[in-house]
Each structure stands twice: as structure tokens, then as C-alpha cells.
Structure 1
Amino acid sequence: MPSTARLVVSGAVANLAVGTLFGWSLVAPALMTDVGASDSSGSGVFALALVAFSAALLGVGRGLRRLGARRLLGVAAVLAGVGLGLTAAGRWAGVPWIGVGLLFGTANGLAYGTAVALAARVPGGRRGLASGLVVGAYAAGPVVLGLVAPRVLPAVGWRTGLAVLAVLVTGLVGLAAVLAPVDRAPARGSEQPERRVPVPFRSVVALWLLFAGGALPGLVVFSAAAPLASAAGLGAGAAGAAVSLLAAGNLAGRVGAGWWSDRVGRPAAVASTLVLSAVALGGLAVSTVPAVVLTGFAGIGLAYGGVSALVPAVTADRVGPRAFPTVYGRVFTAWGCAGLAAPLLVSQGAATASARPEVFLLLAAPLLVAVAALMSLTAEAGSRPGR
């Protein structure tokens, strides 16, 4: 298998496995009840997992320098297996917080950070597609779990299901570790030119704002998809279709935007996703025609997926593969902040029919911030010697 393909397959397999974290809601109600915790505490476990995810991602750069991709994925495999296995066997209310919140959340950060770092090593002409495939696999994980779990869990119970998932996740991340390169860093000779490129603080800020502004509309719609669809006048069946289109668009947007960026250039591809997001928000704000609403949800999903795939590729283009893990760990905190802001916007009335138009129009503001950040990055890249 060519080395480039190994990088992509390793990253994709790791992300497919740990992305199942986002299927937590499939088992959370029964799990929390059985261990004597309240149903609502399941959302707290997930929030803790996201905090652990982001914290671990910040340390991936140092981890790759000290351990290398193969060993770091091995650590992630062990943490994921122990965390899920402990949760499957536990009888104490605090077990899910430790097993899923801390251990599996940390495994997610280590695996995801290593996976996108592997994609960043792919040469620039294929880096967009590589990033799209790797981050797309993370979105595919909960999709696959969502198709399988509702059929399996009633028959075997959540404990058996979670134990099987622990084995599968550990095995897949372990396979990703075997496929990952042994070296602790990119080859010295091939990375010397990129290693000398400075990483100005303003570039990190611009990348952060691009991610936060570009992702916030999608995160808001994801966080209240069904109520927003209902508030737009859709019936129960059509609202379900809107949620499905949102998820499908997210997955397709990650792969499609990465592929597109290799052909038209990263700035043009990012600009396209921001425009698509703005058009979709406009349609959702002014129309309750089912076809327009469904198209708007699909557009939001595509745009969010595109931003999720393109920001890692843009970051790698700007800072090089060697600096990427450290810089992207910082940039990724933008996603966490946007994720925290999304429920706050929803709580202000986003899911009510009267507030729906204003909320969708309000979400155009972060897109303007993202556009300004993209313009700053493009101008800075154009002013650099030899670029």
C-alpha cells in the first residue's frame, strides 16, 4: 500500500472508531438509569467527554514528538477500550463519568488529533481530499452506529452492546496504529523548508475565527434540528427527513469539500462553503416551503462538513505538517467554544416559530467574521516570499 494511502487509511480507521462517541445518546438513557443516575446527567457525561477531547487534542503535538503516531494511537486504543469496557461493567453512578467522559473522551482527542496530523502529511495537491476522508470517517462513525444500535440493543442489552463496541473500537484503533508510520516526525530532509516558516500569532487567530465563525451556524442547527424543522412548519415525517439531510450533508460535505479544494484551491473552496451556508440560512429565514426548508438543512450540513474538513487542510497549508499538530490543537478550541455558544443561542428561542427568522439571520454574523478571517489568511499567504 502506498505511503500516502496508509496515512489516509490509518487516520480514517481511527476516526471511524472513536467517532462513535457521538452515538452516546443511543445508550445514555438506559445506562444512566441502570447505574442509579438521572437521565439528564447523560448530557453532562457527554459534555465532559468533549472537554477531555479538546484538552487531549492540545497535547497531541507534544505526544507525536515524544511517542510518534503509532504509539500515540496505541495509547488511544487502550484508553478507549478501558473506558468503554469499564462503563459496560460498572454498577456505580460515577463510572460513566470516568469511562466515557474522561477515558473515552481523552481517547477521542488523541486519536482525532493524530488522524488529522497524518492527513496533514499528505502532499498539498491531495491534502484536501485526505483531510476530507479522515474527518468524514469521524462523522461516519455515529451514522453507522445509529443504523445498527436500534436493532441490536433491544435484543442484547446496553451492557453487552457497549462491551462489543469496546472490543471493536479497540481493535480498529489498534489497526490504525499498525498502519501508522513508525517515525516520530516527518522526515528531516523533506520538512526542513516548512519547518523554517514562522507561524505568526495573527495566523492562529485568523484560523481560530475562521473555524468558529464557519462552524457556529451548523452547530446551532445540529443542536436543535428537529425543533427548528418543526418551527419551520414541517410535519413530523418531514422534520425527520430534515434531520437526516443535515447529517447526510455533513458527511458528504467533508469528503466533497476536501476533493473540491484540491482542484480550485483552498481559499476558493472555503469561500464556497461560507456562501453556501449564508444562502441556506437565508432560505430558512424567509421561507416555510418544505422544499426550501429541506434544501436549507441539506445546505447547512454540507457547509458545516466542508468547514470541518477544510480548516485542517488550510492549517496544514499554512504551518506545515511538523507544526500542524500543535497549531491545530489551539485552532480546534474554536469548535469547542462554538459548541458551547450554540445551546445558548437555542435557549434564547431558536426553536420557536416566532424567533426562527431572527435566529437564522443572526447566524449570518459569525459567517462575516469567518469571511474576514479568510481574507486575512489569503492576504497574508500572498504577501509571503515564494508563495
Structure 2
Amino acid sequence: MGTGKPMNRWWVVLGAILIQLALGAIYSWSVFTKALTSEPYAFSKTQTQIIFSVGLATFAFVMIVAGQLQTRLAPRVIALLGGWTLGLGYILARFVGTSFWGHVLTIGLVGGAGIGLAYVIPIAVGVRWFPDRKGMLTGLAVAGFGFGAFLWIQLAGNLGQLIARLGVANVFLVYGILFGLLVTTGAIWMVNPPAGYTPPGWTPEAAAKVAKKIGGTREFTPWEMLRTRQFYMVWLIFVAGAMAGLMVIGIIKLFGIERLKGYYEAANLSPEVAVKRAEVTAELAMAIFFALANGLGRIGWGVISDWIGRKAALVAMLISQTIVMAGFYWLAASPALFFLGACWIGFNFGGNFALFPAATADFFGNKNVGVNYGWVFTAYGIGGILGPILGGFFGDVAKTSQRLEAWLVPFLVAAAGCLLGTILAAMLSPPEPAPSAKVSSPLVEPRSARNASAAQR
């Protein structure tokens, strides 16, 4: 790609979507939880969420490694390594039987590592091809992650019936093979643009004007970024947003069944029929409403943030998530409101994955966005530990105590976290330039210049 006419940059978007379709399988985890809590597995709700959480945490922390590898290996190579590792994890899960720790190792550690290796590549490559539309690009690049959840849920669940036909273990095998094939195809277009590439009609001067609104112009190394307060503010905001959404992803089917059972029993259905209807309703919300909304939220919030700025978009997304998380326990008492709440949560949750990589590029520069976003993304790993295990724990409490209202606690905790994130987002400002920096950010007037300006006035 160093000479000749650059390829059409929209091929990068296609490749990104194909890769993310495979990686989004982790968000379909809830479709497996009912089978895993039944015989012969008989895992507890908390155990199913530990597997999920280990996968999320491994995914997040391996992204740091993936960012470092970008300085040594071609992005296509890293994407392939990640896709094949993800596929291997699921294929190995076919052969661990009913072992809880076997699933933690294969789905959680190996599968999560594969996602972490591949995930950052479409974002880092895409931002270089689309410096003029970072919000839109990151939204499109990761939209496949949300849509992938819809695909894998439908294949395994009500539409494809793969779990019913093949069993959980064989579904893991089939999925592992498909993941490897999808990432291998998408990796074809994971190449960086030629040196000095700029999109037609776009100039760095235009970018500087945009930077005055949403970020800075300085390029931060990871070490420089880690020394700014903005990094820790963005990191905490991401923890809050990730914790809320990942908690719901992990328990939406189990919670939905238990919460909606009473609704259908009140309609004079037998307990067995009521549970079946509740299961179908919860899975429909999980797949069609939550997964699709998750994908659309990545595009929608990305585009919105290009219009109104990353800070304003973060505030709007988080306050909206605060409201729905605080009320979701009551919304879930009826199918229609359960669908609405799941769609709302999914749309907002998807926005995290458009806004935070774009904000990382805005605040800390495009050059090192791959490795810098790896550090920011560790927040997702922390949220992936806190959220699902919190939901699984209180799900077990609700079951053992026979008190359905125990489910209310994790939703209120998540709402409080999102409210804190809203406050921090409202306080965000671009990082100060380093004292030794020769070129200052256009957002921050140097102190000497301010003094001179004041003297002139």
C-alpha cells in the first residue's frame, strides 16, 4: 500500500464488520446460560457469569498486548491471530465436557484473548483511513459486534434451534469454525493507508478546526496519556457504562424469565406454559431488541457525536442510561416495556464502543490510538467483572430466598454508576499540552500568551 492508488477505504469498513461479527459472539452468551444451568452442566447463575466475566476481562487486558503488537506486526497478521485464537477457544470448549473450569479456560481465557487481539485492529486501521469521520467510522467498525450477537443468538436459539438440535458442546464447535472463517475474510482489508494519506476534500487544517471543538491536536504516547487526569476520567466513565450494559447482557434471559413469569401466570396460564412464554419473550428481547439496538447504537451515537461533540454525546448517553437502569426492574414486569427497556439499554450500551475510541483519538491523537485505546479499554474489563458477577450473585439470591425483588439491587447499583459517569463526563476537558511541547493544542492558550493578551487588554 506504499505506492500507487490507495484502495477504496470502504473496503476497510466491510472487513471491520466481518471481523466484528465473529467477535460479537461473546455478547450472545446469555443464550447459553439456561442450558448451562440445567443438567448435565448444572452451573449456578454466578458460575455462568464468571465464565462471561473472565472472557470480558481477558478481552480487555489482551487489547493492551494487541496495541503493542501493532508496532511490530502488520494489522492483518494480528487480526488473523486473534480470529484463529477465538475460534480455537470455542473448538476446545467442545471437548471439556461439563467442567466449569474447562469452560473458564476455553471460552473465557482463550476465546477472550482472541477477541482482545483482533478487536482493536479495525478501529486503529479505520481511524487512519477516516480521519474526517472518526465518530461514524468507529460506530460502523464496531457495529458488527452488536449485530454479531443477534446472529449467534438466533442461530443457537429460537430460529436456528442449534442448541436444541446439536447440544451446547457441538454449537461451540460449529461457532469456533465460523469465527475463524469470518475473521480470515475480513482481515484481507486490514491494511494501513499509504504514508501521508488524506481523504479527498479533507485537510489537516480542517481537522484542527474540529479539534478545537472536541479534543486536541497533540499526539500522546501511552506513558504521556497515563499521566493525564483526562485518561482516568474517561476510564472511570467507561467502567460505569460497560458495567451497566454487560450486567444486562449476562442476565437478561435469566432475569426476564423470572420477572415475566408472574405476568403470564396472571393471564391464567399454567406455571409450565408461563415459564415457556417468558423464555420466548426474554430471548426475543435479548436477540431482536437488545442485540440489534446495540449495533444501531454504535452507529447512531458515533454519528451524533460527530455533530454535537464527544463530551455532549457522552453526557446524553450516560444520563439516558441512568434513567432506564433505575427503572428497568419495573419496566420488565410487562413484555412491551421489557422490550422497550432492553432496546434502550442496548442502544446506549452500543454507544460506548463508538464514543470511547473516538474520544481517545480526539484527546490523545490518531497516531497511537491503537495502543492508547487498549489502555482505555481496560475499563471494559473491570466493568465486565463487576457487572455480570453482580447480576449473577443477586440472581442466585433471588432464587435461594424466593424474593424476586433481590434482582432490583444490581440495576440500582448500575444506575448509580452511570450517574457518576454522567457527572465526570460533564467535567471533561482536553488534556493540557506538555510544558516542553513546541506546538500547543489549539484548545489551550499557553499561559504566557494569556498573560500577554491580558496586558494588551
Match in the other structure for 2:176:
166
> Which residue of 141, 146, 150 maps to 2:153?
146
Shift of 1:144: 0.6
Unaligned runs of 5+ in 1: none
Residue 265 of structure 1 pairs with residue 300 of structure 2: no
Shift of 1:386: 1.3
TM-score, normalised to structure 1, is 0.81
Give aligned pairs, total: 383
Q: After the TM superposition, which residues 1-387 of structure 1 pair with which residues of structure 2 at under 5 Å, given as runs?
A: 2-24=7-29, 26=31, 39-40=43-44, 44-88=50-94, 93=99, 96-150=103-157, 151-156=161-166, 161-181=171-191, 187=195, 194-195=218-219, 199=225, 200-226=227-253, 229=256, 231=259, 234-235=263-264, 236=278, 242-244=285-287, 245-284=289-328, 290=334, 292=337, 294-343=339-388, 345-346=390-391, 347-348=393-394, 354=405, 360-378=411-429, 380=431, 385-387=441-443
Shift of 1:87: 3.6
Q: How many Å separate the matches in 2 of 1:319 and 1:228?
A: 40
**Which one-letter code corresponds to 2:146 in the other structure?**
A
The answer as to whether partners of 1:255 and 1:309 remain within 8 angstroms in 2 is yes
**Which one-letter code corresponds to 2:359 in the other structure?**
V
Q: 1:322 to 1:136 in 2, by over 3 A?
A: same
Q: How many Å separate the matches in 2 of 1:54 and 1:7?
A: 23
**Which one-letter code corresponds to 2:88 in the other structure?**
V
The answer as to whether partners of 1:204 and 1:327 remain within 8 angstroms in 2 is no
Q: How many Å separate the matches in 2 of 1:130 and 1:33?
A: 41
Q: State the secondary structure of the residue aligned to 1:66.
A: coil
Match in the other structure for 2:450:
none
Q: 1:30 to 1:367 in 2, by over 3 A?
A: closer
Shift of 1:66: 0.6
Q: 1:234 to 1:130 in 2, by over 3 A?
A: farther
The answer as to whether partners of 1:249 and 1:302 remain within 8 angstroms in 2 is yes
Worse-superposed segment, 95-104 or 173-182: 95-104
Q: How many Å separate the matches in 2 of 1:148 and 1:29?
A: 16
Q: 1:205 to 1:104 in 2, by over 3 A?
A: same
The answer as to whether partners of 2:57 and 2:382 remain within 8 angstroms in 1 is no
Cα deviation code 1:27-75 (max 9, x no counterpart): 67879999x9764566554443333322311211111111021111121
Q: State the secondary structure of the residue aligned to 1:378.
A: coil
Shift of 1:109: 0.6
Unaligned runs of 5+ in 2: 1-5, 199-203, 205-216, 265-277, 435-439, 444-457
Q: How many Å separate the matches in 1 of 2:48 and 2:253?
A: 20
Shift of 1:353: 5.0
Q: 1:327 to 1:293 in 2, by over 3 A?
A: same
Q: How many Å separate the matches in 1 of 2:112 and 2:293?
A: 25
Q: How many Å separate the matches in 1 of 2:408 and 2:94?
A: 44
Q: How many Å separate the matches in 1 of 2:409 and 2:42?
A: 35
TM-score, normalised to structure 2, is 0.70
Match in the other structure for 2:268:
none
Q: 1:30 to 1:214 in 2, by over 3 A?
A: closer
Q: How many Å separate the matches in 2 of 1:169 and 1:239?
A: 26
Q: State the secondary structure of the residue aligned to 2:72.
A: helix
Question: In proportion to residue count, which structure has more helix?
Answer: 1
Q: How many Å separate the matches in 2 of 1:173 and 1:239?
A: 30
* CA RMSD of superposed structures (Å): 3.8
Moved over 6 A (4+): 28-34, 188-191, 285-289, 381-384
The answer as to whether partners of 2:80 and 2:118 remain within 8 angstroms in 1 is no
The answer as to whether partners of 1:15 and 1:138 remain within 8 angstroms in 2 is yes
Shift of 1:341: 2.0
**Which one-letter code corresponds to 1:79 in the other structure?**
T
**Which one-letter code corresponds to 2:91 in the other structure?**
G
The answer as to whether partners of 2:139 and 2:300 remain within 8 angstroms in 1 is yes
Q: State the secondary structure of the residue aligned to 2:368.
A: helix
**Which one-letter code corresponds to 1:366 in the other structure?**
G
**Which one-letter code corresponds to 1:108 in the other structure?**
I
Question: How much identity, in percent, do the aligned residues show?
Answer: 27
Q: How many Å separate the matches in 2 of 1:169 and 1:97?
A: 19
Q: How many Å separate the matches in 1 of 2:165 and 2:404?
A: 39
Q: How many Å separate the matches in 1 of 2:431 and 2:311?
A: 12
Match in the other structure for 2:275:
none
The answer as to whether partners of 1:79 and 1:104 remain within 8 angstroms in 2 is yes
The answer as to whether partners of 1:72 and 1:110 remain within 8 angstroms in 2 is yes
The answer as to whether partners of 1:29 and 1:42 remain within 8 angstroms in 2 is no
Worse-superposed segment, 332-341 or 286-295: 286-295
Worse-superposed segment, 196-205 or 61-70: 196-205
The answer as to whether partners of 1:18 and 1:108 remain within 8 angstroms in 2 is yes
Cα deviation code 1:345-377 (max 9, x no counterpart): 433579655456666454432223212332333
Q: 1:304 to 1:293 in 2, by over 3 A?
A: same
- Larger radius of gyration, structure 1 or 2? 2
